[in-house]
């Protein structure tokens, strides 16, 4: 056992005991994303941009609940909205009006959203968007990009992080299931596209357009820096071949008031949302063209489509999400973007000055650290990065009081952060990389 892990064990004995207790009634953790070796810290409470674990350690939070907590923790406006709604009714099984207010806010911010529906997660959002695309187009297959994650249902949990030795050529990737237990037919119903290669995308869509219901595009791709020209080319390719474009905006409202599509000047046919839209509560949303969304309208008579769920459009979630979105003003985004620019510039300079083969890449206020000597632009670039010391660097940062994602990818900033937080993280990361080199 090395000194970094020893220090972690000494700082977190209560978290270790809690992990062992959890393992007696769960498969170690409540969800897979919580786990990292040797065990995760257990959080007692959170405030602003800080987490406090059950051992009394404080961490500056650069994970922000998988990027969802853009305002930080316990923001007064979100707390007030959620508490007020709970006083009025927690779950009533009927419209309350707040869902309409949130839908109006989304449609006001995003011109491509003509109609919106709510669900409980980003996974549900992409599931329903795909069903709509298939039903509207009458075509059975979908296309997604290699390395993109669109949720945990069989239609899309394919080629998220494939073994490249099984994934075929880079310009014509083969579909590879991401997890066990999937339908064996799932790989027959999907076309995998390569990032950053307009020529290949054009060829594959042109070949399969007659059976393609939609193309799903997440223009972050694990916080890769996509070329705007590539994103716009995908929109044009789908338009030419009459294939619906579904924009995955699950993290989109970190990019600006209108999401990522506003930044790139894209008008997709459908969009999917999650995370920030719920104010920290479980949420999903999807919407777009009114002629497509009309398939879900019961007032139009039987359409053969339905979407519901006991907790879909939960009033507490709707109230919290509306309160969070209203805090995301142009000034808020300017603050976050300025901090991100400072972090990427200073940390990259630190890597270069110290002679570390490392890159920091960002998309709006989300960022990733990769151990490589060149900026990654595709999934296969990410796969080729050096992962040997990621765990030790992550634990070193925890020991110094900084909470990032365990893989050092898909981290994010929150509104309470200042330049001092950014500068201290930069210093801690350079120190952690020095300690973590094996």
Q: Which own/partner contact pairs does 45-51 have at CB distance under 8 Å and 24+ positions apart?
A: 46/73, 46/74, 47/73, 47/74, 48/72, 48/73, 48/74, 48/414, 48/416, 49/73, 49/414, 49/416, 49/417, 49/421, 51/403
Tokens of 382: 């990410």
* Beta pairing class for 284-288 and 115-119: antiparallel
**What's the CA gap between 296 and 308, in Å, rounded?**
10
Integer CA distances (angstroms), 293 to 129, 135, 318, 408, in order = 9, 11, 20, 38
User: 111 has which bridge partners?
Assistant: none
Q: Is 275 a catalytic residue?
A: yes
Which residues, 6+ apart, have CB-to-CB distance to 56 below 8 Å?
none
Query: Among the options 59, 275, 379, 402, which is catalytic?
Result: 275
**What's the CA gap between 115 and 29, in Å, rounded?**
37
Query: Among the options 149, 195, 264, 370, which is catalytic?
Result: 149
Query: Among the options 53, 61, 248, 381, which is catalytic?
Result: 248
**What's the CA gap between 274 and 68, in Å, rounded?**
8
Give yes or no for a contact between 134 and 213, defined as CB atoms under 8 angstroms apart. yes
Q: Is 403 a catalytic residue?
A: no
* Other CB atoms within 10 Å distance of the CB of residue 301: 6
Q: Is 149 a catalytic residue?
A: yes
Q: Which residues are catalytic?
A: 149, 248, 275
């Amino acid at each position: 056992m090395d000194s970094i892990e020893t220090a972690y064990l000494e700082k977190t004995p209560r978290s270790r005991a809690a992990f062992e207790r959890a393992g007696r009634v769960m498969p170690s953790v409540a969800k897979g994303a919580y786990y990292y070796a040797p065990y995760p810290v257990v959080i007692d409470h959170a405030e602003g941009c800080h987490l406090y674990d059950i051992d009394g350690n404080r961490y500056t939070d650069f994970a922000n609940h998988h990027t969802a907590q853009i305002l930080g923790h316990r923001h007064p406006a979100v707390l007030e909205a959620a508490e007020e709604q709970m006083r009025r009714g927690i779950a009533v099984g009927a419209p309350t009006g707040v869902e309409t207010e949130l839908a109006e806010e989304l449609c006001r911010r995003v011109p491509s959203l003509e109609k919106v529906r709510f669900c409980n997660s980003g996974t549900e959002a992409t599931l329903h968007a795909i069903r709509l695309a298939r039903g509207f187009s009458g075509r059975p297959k979908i296309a997604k990009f290699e390395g993109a994650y669109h949720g945990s249902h069989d239609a899309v949990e394919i080629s998220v992080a494939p073994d490249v030795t099984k994934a075929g050529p880079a310009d014509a990737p083969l579909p590879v299931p991401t997890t066990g237990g999937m339908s064996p037919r799932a790989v027959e119903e999907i076309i995998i596209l390569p990032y950053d290669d307009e020529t290949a995308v054009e060829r594959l869509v042109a070949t399969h357009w007659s059976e393609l219901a939609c193309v799903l595009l997440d223009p972050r791709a694990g916080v890769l820096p996509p070329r705007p020209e590539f994103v716009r080319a995908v929109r044009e390719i789908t338009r030419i071949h009459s294939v619906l474009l579904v924009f995955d905006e699950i993290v989109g409202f970190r990019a600006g008031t209108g999401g990522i599509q506003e930044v790139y000047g894209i008008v997709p046919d459908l969009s999917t949302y999650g995370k920030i839209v719920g104010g920290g509560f479980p949420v999903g949303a999807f919407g777009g063209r009114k002629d497509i969304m009309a398939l879900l309208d019961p007032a139009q008579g039987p359409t053969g489509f339905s979407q519901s769920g006991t907790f879909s459009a939960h009033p507490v979630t709707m109230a919290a999400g509306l309160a969070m979105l209203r805090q995301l003003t142009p000034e808020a985004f300017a603050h976050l973007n300025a901090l991100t620019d400072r972090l990427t510039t200073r940390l990259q300079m630190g890597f270069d000055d110290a002679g570390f083969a490392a890159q920091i890449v960002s998309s709006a206020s989300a960022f990733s650290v990769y151990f490589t000597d060149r900026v990654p632009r595709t999934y296969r670039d990410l796969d080729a990065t050096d992962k040997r010391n990621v765990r030790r660097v992550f634990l070193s940062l925890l020991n110094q009081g900084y909470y990032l994602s365990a893989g050092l990818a898909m981290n994010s900033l929150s509104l309470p952060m200042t330049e001092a937080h950014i500068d201290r993280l930069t210093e801690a990361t350079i120190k952690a990389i020095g300690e973590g080199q094996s």
